[in-house]
Amino acid sequence: MPQMHGMALHMKTFAPLFAAALLSACATVPAPEAAAPQPVEPVTVRIIGINDFHGNIEPPSRPFTVRGAGDDAVRAPAGGGAYLASAIAAAKAKNEHSMVISAGDMIGGSPIASSLFLDEPAIGVMNRIGIDFNAVGNHEFDRGATELQRIQNGGCEKNTQREPCQVEQYAGADFQFLAANVTSPDGQTIFPAYGIKRFGSGASEVAIGVIGLTLEDTPALVTPSGIEGLTFAEESSTINALIPQLKAQGADAIIVSIHQGLFTEVGYNDSSCGGVAGALLEVLAKLDPSVDLVISGHTHRAYICDHGAIDPTRDFLVTSASSAGALLTDIAMTIDPATGSVVSLEANNVIVQNEGTGEGERAVAPLAELTTYAPDADVAAYVARYTEAASEFANRSVGRIARLPSQTPNRHDHPIGNLIADAQLAATREAGAQIAFMNAGGVRDDLIPDEDGTITFGQIYTVQPFSNTLMTKTLTGSQILAVLEKQVDGTTRGSLFVSDGFTYAIDMTREPGGRISGATLNGKAIKRGMTYRVTMNSFLSSGGDGFETFEQGTDPVTGPLDLDALEAWISAVDIRQLPELGRVKFLTPADQ
């Protein structure tokens, strides 16, 4: 059965052009009639938008929720590089002209089959799919700007702890990374700010300009040493300054591909923008009205928002296709070549349903109401090379854990996040560690054991793919409390999980700066004037996620890799029990 969706239809109107015929009243012999010019037909370009692929070259283990929630949710198996390739090919086939645009986080935070090989296979998959442009996201900078340049340009220069080119000579990306708001000390952007793609010829030629950029707050989300010397400019002013250049080069339509996003309360194909919120709204409110389409990301949400319903003077569509290649946004942009205007936009989020994932009680079968895509054979064979190369690492058992507690986790208190914090505390006891903090954004997946509780290296790698080292520092009680307040003062979305023995309470009814109370270590109150040995990963240690206070710590001692610490902790006992919740107490329900 064909896939059924709602559709956002966006129309732009313009005044038609008229020509008056000049006749001479005194002419005795009529002049020969000039041949009437042939009308130029509108040109439709099929634009496919994706975002937040995160190196998911294999089908993700987590299905996409089509509708509903909890036990009533209807879910579909979706994603995987070979299936995404087929879905994009099907969308491209609808029109003579097409282009594929990614809104960032194509790499970074990836499963083992891609991350173990520095995301080279993720780029290989995208080369085979035929991407045109990828706006850099914050995760593109996970391994530093130098490594990102290698990812674009190719080569086997070693810039990280892992070896490049383990499976093949890496040739680089066939498509262009865009970074309009990221400049080096000489004032030049590290990648081009925009690209233009032209379609057709003669009077029927149309040109589409694409501006690509990441969120201004990227420095708070990546390890600072990897982006030292780079400047991340404000998004809307960056975009607006480039529009005259694009128009001067003949761009008939302007697309913004931005790694920043929205949250909505409606379905993945509802264009009403119901309950819309998020940092991107502020950027959109300042955009030049000549922007025609915004392809966004970062929030991992799926939406098609008609921004004209929010601000009629800025009547562009804003789209996002979830994450991990589970969806794509199929967009038909129709341009009148005679006027250089976009006359209509039709957008539709399409679920990239695969043939089914998981086994036993975790099996998810395809939904009959959705199209099921067959895997692209070439991409599937390419992915298989890397999954086989990773299998020796991925399938190795690291121990056993008990099943997840039947409690509702949140962004401050989660059994897997707490487990990681406990592992990091145990791994750094010799450095004097008393407390360990783990950033919630660094926990990329759940741990779901086999029937006998077995966990593999591939699973823990998927949970922690960043290869951070552990750092133990001395902080005062005042600094620890400042870190906790930072989570809830409204200046960052970052949050922390804490190790066993450390507890505190949150009360969001109080003013910022006074929302944390009752912080204790092993039953004793944290004293502002005392010092404590605190462990965090190298990302947090250098101020990641906006926790600059960690940088102030003294007497640093470098510990093992975070992944090694987790493996050692799980394997230290026959079955590792996952921590119960309750380390963070919420004094009002809204705090959670």
> pLDDT tens-digit profile of 451-491?
899 999 999 998 998 888 899 999 999 999 999 999 988 77
CA 271 – CA 275 distance, rounded (Å): 11
Count CA within 13 A, CB hemisphere, residue 112: 22
- Per-residue pLDDT at 224: 80
Residue extent(s) of CATH 3.90.780.10 domains in the chain: 397-591
Cross-strand pairs, 534: 435, 473
Q: Which of the residue ranges 129-138, 221-230, 532-541 would you say has the lowest mean pLDDT?
A: 221-230
Token duo for residue 105: 């986080």
Give the pairing of strands 133-135 and 97-102.
parallel
Give me the CATH code for the 41-54+75-387 domain, please: 3.60.21.10
pLDDT at 12: 52
Question: What band does 173 get if pLDDT is binned at 50, 70 and 90?
Answer: very high
- Residue 69, pLDDT above cutoff 60: yes
| CB 420, CB 443: distance < 8 Å | yes
Q: Where in the chain is the domain with CATH 3.60.21.10?
A: 41-54+75-387
Q: Where are the beta strands (DSSP E) in 54-175?
A: 64-67, 74-76, 97-102, 133-135
Residues 6+ apart with CB under 8 A from 38: none
Which of 126-130, 264-268, 295-299 is predicted least confidently?
264-268
Instruction: Round the average pLDDT of the chain to a whole number and report it.
Output: 90
Distance of CA 549 to the CA centre of its chain: 26
- Average pLDDT value for residue range 2-7: 42
What is the average per-residue pLDDT within 159-187? Answer: 96
Print the SS3 string covering 409-449: CCCCCCHHHHHHHHHHHHHCHHHCCCEEEEEHHHCCCCCCC
336, 60 contact by CB (below 8 A)? no
Examine the pLDDT at 26 and tell me if it is beyond 50: no
pLDDT of residue 537: 94
Task: Say whether pLDDT at 27 is over 50.
Answer: no
Q: How far apart are CA 217 and CA 494, in angstroms?
A: 12
* pLDDT recorded at residue 36: 62
The CA–CA distances, whole Å, from 520 to 13, 183, 359, 426, 435 equal: 63, 44, 43, 19, 11
- Residue 521 and residue 480 in contact, taking contact as beta carbons nearer than 8 Å: no
Average pLDDT rounded to a whole number, residues 237-256:
98
pLDDT higher than 70, residue 11: no
Q: Measure CA 344 to chain center.
A: 28
| Residue 240: its H or E element | helix 235-248
CA distance 119 to 172: 11
Tokens 């498509």 belong to which residue? Answer: 175
pLDDT of 590 above 60: no
Q: Could you tell me the two tokens for 259?
A: 């790694």
Q: Please give the pLDDT value at position 591.
A: 57
% of the chain residues with pLDDT over 70: 91
What's the pLDDT band for 6 if we cut at 50, 70, 90?
Answer: very low
CA 117 from centroid of its chain's CA atoms = 19
The CATH T-level fold of domain 397-591 is 5'-nucleotidase;  domain 2 (3.90.780)
Nearest to 307 by CA among 285, 335, 336, 334: 285
- Residue 94 amino acid letter: K
CB neighbour class for 196 (10 Å; exposed up to 12, middle 13-18, buried from 19): middle
Supply the pLDDT for residue 222.
Answer: 83
